[in-house]
């Protein structure tokens, strides 16, 4: 027999290569009987495991003898077995049992912290598709740490689509191939930046359907410039060649371009800077939950502003300071209402607030029933509301952020005596009415409470 981990499996002598059921079971039972006498606890566990294996083998796997060894397990009864035409049997089957589909998109997206999507850039040659696409890829990878890959029409024609020309049917096939590849990338959780002229609306709509049928996000980005502006740019000299007759069927001159009717993102490229275009695209991605792996975007966004500004905010850890350490800081006694507001802030119910309002946020609340946020740090002011108020910070750049509803002033009033006690200290301990320390306020800002 063949020894494996100290257990001998005897083979019958009448059928070489076939494991005798009687020989195997009788041998194992004898071994268990001997072990029960020597090591009853271990053997009892072995008996349970052995019985479990017998049950599983009897209900799930059919092992058959063969002259050359043991055949592959037979397919489960509810599996669909497929075989090539003319072939009697096959060991490949499609398992339709529960969980057979493998890793799901939702689990993949949550694992990598982002959501796959295809950004389909369309527009004239020279409109700026590749330029904006390159810059967008840089920002998403370097600043947002998001897996992004650019599929450029020019580069793809040297490899995947090297067999295609510029006739209408070749353009259609070019778009189809790139659309299928983009869908695969997007399903894997990648942000795909596909830049193609793709002049025909029907072809682009077909790519959209490919994504929609797989439950994937598809964002059409129309890089819109007048044809004369694109021709003036002519970065590759293609318009000049087309005008001279060296290129036939050039889009916008002697071949049509069908502009998108309802693109998700419309960039007036000749009127916007590259950074403005990138910012508009990232805002569209954020609205779809791509940057945070949110599975579904609420149907009221962005028509109405979500109460928390669309931000996913984790409460800070409260174990930073021990009770003994907190007792060393200046202390402010809270009343019942103050304590309730503290709970709202600490549990995230007042998001995007992460503490009691500073003066700048309070004035926004009083005058505009809202507050400025920069959730994705597009203006470099993501921590704006956590910094001490500096009215010079309310610059034109910051105004490009978003406003979220905030109509209730959430402040912590203190007495003149508390103000003197705090002074220039960087930490203040908040005391519950019961006398228990409940929070530490860092970098406090003291200001006159305006009621105008």
When pLDDT is cut at 50, 70 and 90, the band that residue 22 belongs to is: low
Give the whole-angstrom CA distance, residue 365 versus residue 343.
20
Spell out a b/e string for 416-429, using b for 16 or more CB atoms within 10 Å of the CB, else e: eebeeebeeeebbb
Average pLDDT over residues 258-272: 91
**Average pLDDT along the chain:** 75
When pLDDT is cut at 50, 70 and 90, the band that residue 101 belongs to is: low
Q: In this model, does residue 332 exceed pLDDT 90?
A: yes
- The dihedral sign for the CA sequence 369, 371, 376, 379: positive
Spell out a b/e string for 125-145, using b for 16 or more CB atoms within 10 Å of the CB, else e: bbbbbbbbbebbbebbeeebe
- Name residue 94's beta-bridge partners: 80
Average pLDDT over residues 423-432: 92
When pLDDT is cut at 50, 70 and 90, the band that residue 143 belongs to is: confident
Helices and strands (H and E) in the chain: how many: 14, 16
Q: Measuring CA to CA, which residue among 404, 218, 191 is closest to residue 291?
A: 191
Q: Answer yes or no: are the C-beta atoms of 115 and 290 closer than 8 Å.
A: yes
Give the whole-angstrom CA distance, residue 70 versus residue 54.
18
Token digits of residue 174: 């070019």
pLDDT computed for residue 108 by the predictor: 82
Token digits of residue 325: 């350490």
When pLDDT is cut at 50, 70 and 90, the band that residue 29 belongs to is: low
189 burial level (CB within 10 Å; 0-12, 13-18, 19+): buried
When pLDDT is cut at 50, 70 and 90, the band that residue 294 belongs to is: low
Q: Measuring CA to CA, which residue among 380, 447, 377 is closest to residue 409?
A: 447
pLDDT computed for residue 98 by the predictor: 43
- Pairwise pLDDT comparison (70 vs 195), residue with the higher score: 195
Give the whole-angstrom CA distance, residue 82 versus residue 59.
22
What are the backbone angles phi and psi of residue 364, rounded to the nearest 5°? -60, -40
Bridge-based pairing of strands 191-195 and 148-152 is parallel
pLDDT computed for residue 399 by the predictor: 62
Would you give the DSSP letter of residue 261? Answer: S
Residues 195-245 pLDDT 10s: 999 999 999 999 999 999 999 999 999 999 999 998 899 888 888 888 888
Q: In this model, does residue 180 exceed pLDDT 90?
A: yes
Give the whole-angstrom CA distance, residue 11 versus residue 6.
16
66-80, 112-126, 168-182, 256-270: segment of lowest average pLDDT: 66-80
Token digits of residue 279: 């910012």
Token digits of residue 151: 């599929």
- Residues classed as catalytic: 198
pLDDT computed for residue 396 by the predictor: 56
Give the whole-angstrom CA distance, residue 343 versus residue 259.
52
Q: In this model, does residue 388 exceed pLDDT 80?
A: yes
When pLDDT is cut at 50, 70 and 90, the band that residue 395 belongs to is: low
Token digits of residue 106: 């939702």
Give the whole-angstrom CA distance, residue 375 versus residue 236.
38
108 burial level (CB within 10 Å; 0-12, 13-18, 19+): middle
- Pairwise pLDDT comparison (207 vs 23), residue with the higher score: 207
pLDDT computed for residue 218 by the predictor: 95
Q: Model-level pTM?
A: 0.48
pLDDT computed for residue 291 by the predictor: 81
Q: In this model, does residue 321 exceed pLDDT 90?
A: no
pLDDT computed for residue 134 by the predictor: 94
32-41, 295-304, 360-369: segment of lowest average pLDDT: 295-304
């Amino acid at each position: 027999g063949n020894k494996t981990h100290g257990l001998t499996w005897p083979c019958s002598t009448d059928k070489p290569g076939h494991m005798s059921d009687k020989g195997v079971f009788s041998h194992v039972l004898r071994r268990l009987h001997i072990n029960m006498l020597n090591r009853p606890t271990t053997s009892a566990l072995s008996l349970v495991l052995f019985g479990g294996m017998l049950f599983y083998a009897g209900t799930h796997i059919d092992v058959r003898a063969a002259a050359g060894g043991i055949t592959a397990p037979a397919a489960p009864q509810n599996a669909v077995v497929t075989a090539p035409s003319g072939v009697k049997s096959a060991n490949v089957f499609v398992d339709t049992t529960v969980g057979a589909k493998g890793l799901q998109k939702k689990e993949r997206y949550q694992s990598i912290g982002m959501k796959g999507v295809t950004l389909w850039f369309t527009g004239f040659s020279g409109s700026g598709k590749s330029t904006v696409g390159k810059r967008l890829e840089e920002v998403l990878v370097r600043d947002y740490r998001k897996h992004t890959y650019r599929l450029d029409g020019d580069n793809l024609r040297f490899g995947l689509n090297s067999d295609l020309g510029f006739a209408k049917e070749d353009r259609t096939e070019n778009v189809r191939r790139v659309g299928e590849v983009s869908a695969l990338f997007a399903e894997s959780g990648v942000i795909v930046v596909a830049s193609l002229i793709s002049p025909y609306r029907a072809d682009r709509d077909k790519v959209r359907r490919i994504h929609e049928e797989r439950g994937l996000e598809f964002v059409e980005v129309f890089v819109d410039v007048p044809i004369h502006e694109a021709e003036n740019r002519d970065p590759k000299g293609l318009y000049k060649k087309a005008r001279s007759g060296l290129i036939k069927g050039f889009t916008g001159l002697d071949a049509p371009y069908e502009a998108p009717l309802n693109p998700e993102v419309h960039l007036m490229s000749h009127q916007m800077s590259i950074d403005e275009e990138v910012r508009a695209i990232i805002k569209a991605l954020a609205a779809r939950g791509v940057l945070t792996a949110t599975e579904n975007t609420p149907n009221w966004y962005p028509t109405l502003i979500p109460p928390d500004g669309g931000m996913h905010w984790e409460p800070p850890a409260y174990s930073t300071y021990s009770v003994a350490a907190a007792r060393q800081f200046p202390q402010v006694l809270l009343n019942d209402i103050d304590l309730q507001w503290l709970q709202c802030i600490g549990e995230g119910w007042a998001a995007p607030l992460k503490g009691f309002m500073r003066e700048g946020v309070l004035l926004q609340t009083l005058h505009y029933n809202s507050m400025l946020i920069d959730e994705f740090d597009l203006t470099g002011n993501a921590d704006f509301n956590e910094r001490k108020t500096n009215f010079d910070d309310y610059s034109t750049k910051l105004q490009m952020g978003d406003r979220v509803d905030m109509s209730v002033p959430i402040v912590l009033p203190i007495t003149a005596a508390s103000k003197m006690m705090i002074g220039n200290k960087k930490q203040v301990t908040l005391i519950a009415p019961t006398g228990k320390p409940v929070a530490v306020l860092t970098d406090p800002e003291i200001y006159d409470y305006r009621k105008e």
